Each structure stands twice: as C-alpha cells, then as structure tokens.
Amino acid sequence: MSAETSAAPVADPLHDQPHRIVEREGVRYTLLGTAHISRASVEAVRAAVASGAYDAVAVELDPGRLQSLTDPSALARLDIVRVLREGKAHLFVANLALSAYQRRLAEQLDVEPGAELKAAVADARALGLPVQLIDREVGLTFRRAMQSLGWWARARTGAGILVAMFGDEDVGDEEIEKLKQGDMLEASFGEFASHSPALYEAVIAERDRYMAARLRQEAGAPRNVLAVVGAGHLAGLARHLAEDSAAPAELLQELETVRQKSRFPWMEVLIAAFLLGGFAWGFASGGFEVGADLMLYWVLWTGGLGALGCLVAGGHPLSILGAFVSSPFTPLHPALASGTVSALIEAWVRKPTHADFMALRDDVNTFSGWWRNRVARVLLNFFLTSLGTAIGVWTGGARMLARLFG
C-alpha cells in the first residue's frame, strides 16, 4: 500500500484541487477534498466524474442525508409518534438544527450546501457508476458525541443547537472559512468541536476512520474509486485508508456502537429513597395530616410545573392533563417520562399533517413557527414539559424538606 500527495498534477480535473491518492490491495482511491459551499468544488467534482477515469464514486453522505438533499418531501413521511416512542426526539431536533443551519447558508451565500455531493451522486448514476455512501449516520454521530461529554458540555452544545434553529443572523466569516476547509457537521456545532477534544473526536476523527473502513469494505470489482469528501477529512482519511490494519467490519462495529455508561443509577435511587422515606417519615412522625401534606406538595410542584411547561408549549388540554398526571411518577419510573407522555398525547390529538412536515424547516427558523407548526409544537411540548418536571422535582423536594424539618 502507498499514499501519495497531490504535489504533482495527476489528472486535469484535479490538478488545482486538494486531493490525495492511496493505493491499497489493488484499488486506487482518489480522495477529492471539497468545500461544501463552493461552486468551484461542484465544477471540479462534475469534471472528475465525467472524465471516465473512475469506475465507482464514493461520497461523504449517509442514506438519510442523501435523501434530504435529493428528496425534500421525505420529511413529510416521517412518523413523529415512532420518533417519540423510540426516544429519538433529541436526534430529530439535531437534524432540524443541521437543516436550519444549511438553510441560512443557502440564503446568505446563494449556494446550496453540499451541492458538490449531490452532483457527484447524480452524475455517477447518470453514467451507470456504482455510488458508495461512506459516512456514518448523523444521528449516530450525534449520540456518540454527546455521550463523550460531561453535563456542562452537553448543556452548552444543546444551547448551541437551539441557537442554530432560532437564530436568523448571518453566518460569520470564521464559520464560512471553516466550511471552505473543513466539514459541515463541525461547522454546525460551531465553536464546540474546536474547543472540545471529545466532541472533535466523534465529529471529525472518528468519521475519518469510519469512512476509510467503509471504502475498504466496498473494495472489490471497482479498481479506481473517486471519493468526494470535505477538505477537512482529506489528511485523516488518507492516513487511515493507508495504515489501518484491523478488518473493516470490526472497525465499523466499534464505531457504530453507542456504549451506555455502566454505572449504578445513584441519583435515581436517592430520589426514590428520599421520596418514599419522606412520605413514610411524615406519616409516622406527624400522622396522616403531615404525610398527606408531603404527598400534596410533591404532586402539586412536579405535576403543576410539568403541566405549566406543556401549557407554555401550547399543549392541548389532554396533553396538559397527561403532563400533570405523569410528572410526579417520572423520578420513580423512567418509562413514565412526562415529556414523552404529553408529546405522544399531543401528536395523537393534534396529528401533524403533510403540510406541517413540508413547512417544518421554514417554521423552526422563526420563534412563532414553533407554536404554529404541529410537528414543532410536539417537540416543544416534549422539551418544555420535561424541563418543567425537572424544576418541579427539585422545588418539590426542597418544599418537602422544609415541611419535615421546619
């Protein structure tokens, strides 16, 4: 195996473009580094595909991102209830943030972000060339990134995602320069990827390894493969493609696994013990009146603030009732998460329409759009109900302590 840089011209379409050539196991990989907001990159990709020098084209996309680029109506076929039941509301919002960020770029620069990747797929298919989608699914990348962070870093990243969805200001020059040299996901996370080694590892470095393994996994009949990737991946991808010795299947399995922290749920157990112990102590030491007061404090604070969050989200009366009833039980049983309960009721009572899904990307870019669009309102219901319940847990607990020891 060998790796060559582009110090000397290799082919006319690429002579002035950043690229690397790696030869391994009888396959010649030409890695073309692009800027996701550059018309010049689109032209270079189209010229390379049309040159006839390649018998397969690989792109830095996963099936979901390709579908969003080529089929804007795909979002309208999403089952929002299934998203909530499978606990993927956070991932859905992350995808919305990425779409909102791309929309802002398109409006500001009059260039479709990722147009060169879309062109590579379209032109390759028109010529009958195999297309390889080598990037990791964005939701999986997001989950691995978040699991590597502490609670404060997760909160900062979450705040950045909300800013990406609500903000309508122009994308800064520094971010635009990053896109010219780097990666769409890194730019979407803003400053966090550059300031957090753990986040950088999941968003950039892991994907270099992942795409290299995918290219090796696809190796077979094609002997000349053109891989179109963001320029920020060029050096790392070339290195891993040339040097990694582990079997591609093993690497992919490792990089697709989301490891749950093997820890004893101390916080959950402590809250449950505090509640049950507090109720028992209240009944034992103060009689029925004190015990009943403690239970009433807990139900009113947790249920009331959970229901208030649902109300602020514009929830249906049945959703608000569901939030009130489920919130007191949330700390005792995660399966009864108040945000999920109220959001599922909201999606059932006010079923999102095809028009809601089609307008979603535009509506989440405005503050009022979150309450107008039924899909967005379901998500808002989920997050605000959960937030209200969390505040209620700590407030209600404090009130119980004051009643017990006051």
374 occurs within a structural domain = yes
pLDDT at position 82 is 78
302, 325 Cβ separation under 8 angstroms: no
- CA 335 to CA 204: how far, in whole Å? 34
23 shares its domain with 150: yes
- CA 296 to CA 292: how far, in whole Å? 6
242 shares its domain with 314: no
Which residues, 6+ apart, have CB-to-CB distance to 212 below 8 Å?
A: 237, 240, 241, 244
pLDDT per position as a tens digit, 50-66: 999 999 999 999 888 88
Which of 255, 278, 303 delimits the end of a domain?
255
Q: Say whether pLDDT at 26 is over 70.
A: yes
- pLDDT category, 5, cuts 50, 70, 90? very low
Q: Say whether pLDDT at 382 is over 60.
A: yes
pLDDT at position 237 is 92
| Residue scoring higher pLDDT (191 or 391) | 391
Q: What value does the mean pLDDT take over residues 18-37?
A: 88
- pLDDT category, 124, cuts 50, 70, 90? very high
Domain of residue 352 covers 266-405
Measure Cα distances from 333 to 296, 337, 343 in Å: 19, 8, 17
260 occurs within a structural domain = no
211 occurs within a structural domain = yes
Total domains in the chain come to 2
77 shares its domain with 224: yes
| Alpha-carbon 22 to chain mean position | 31
- CA 205 to CA 233: how far, in whole Å? 8
367 occurs within a structural domain = yes
The mean predicted confidence, pLDDT, of the chain is 78
- CA 236 to CA 208: how far, in whole Å? 6
148 shares its domain with 52: yes
324 shares its domain with 226: no
pLDDT at position 152 is 57
249 shares its domain with 270: no
| Alpha-carbon 216 to chain mean position | 26
- pLDDT category, 2, cuts 50, 70, 90? very low
pLDDT per position as a tens digit, 283-339: 777 777 777 878 888 889 999 999 999 999 999 999 999 999 999 888 776 667 888
25 occurs within a structural domain = yes
- Report the residue count for the chain: 406
Q: Say whether pLDDT at 213 is over 90.
A: yes
261 occurs within a structural domain = no
pTM attached to this predicted model: 0.67
94 occurs within a structural domain = yes
222 shares its domain with 310: no
Which of 236, 255, 274 delimits the end of a domain?
255
222 shares its domain with 272: no
200 shares its domain with 305: no
Q: What value does the mean pLDDT take over residues 369-387?
A: 89
pLDDT at position 103 is 67
| Residue scoring higher pLDDT (358 or 176) | 358
342 occurs within a structural domain = yes
pLDDT at position 296 is 85
pLDDT at position 10 is 45
In SS3 terms, the chain reads as CEEEECCCCCCHHHCCCCEEEEEECCEEEEEEEECCCCHHHHHHHHHHHHCCCCCEEEECCCHHHHHHHHCHHHHHHCCHHHHHHCCCHHHHHHHHHHHHHHHHHHHHHCCCCCHHHHHHHHHHHHCCCCEEECCCCHHHHHHHHHHCCCHHHHHHHHHHHHHHHHCCCCCCHHHHHHHHHCCHHHHHCCCHHHHCHHHHHHHHHHHHHHHHHHHHHHCCCCCEEEEEEEHHHHHHHHHHHHHCCCCHHHHHHHHCCCCCCCCCCHHHHHHHHHHHHHHHHHHHHHHHHHHHHHHHHHHHHHHHHHHHHHHHCCCCHHHHHHHHHHHHHCCCCHHHCHHHHHHHHHHHHCCCCHHHHHHHHHHCCCCCHHHHCHHHHHHHHHHHHHHHHHHHHHHHHHHHHHHHHC
61 shares its domain with 139: yes
127 shares its domain with 226: yes
Which of 230, 255, 280 delimits the end of a domain?
255
Q: Are strands 56-59 and 2-5 parallel, antiparallel or unpaired?
A: unpaired
Which residues, 6+ apart, have CB-to-CB distance to 128 below 8 Å?
A: none
Q: Say whether pLDDT at 72 is over 70.
A: no
366 shares its domain with 239: no
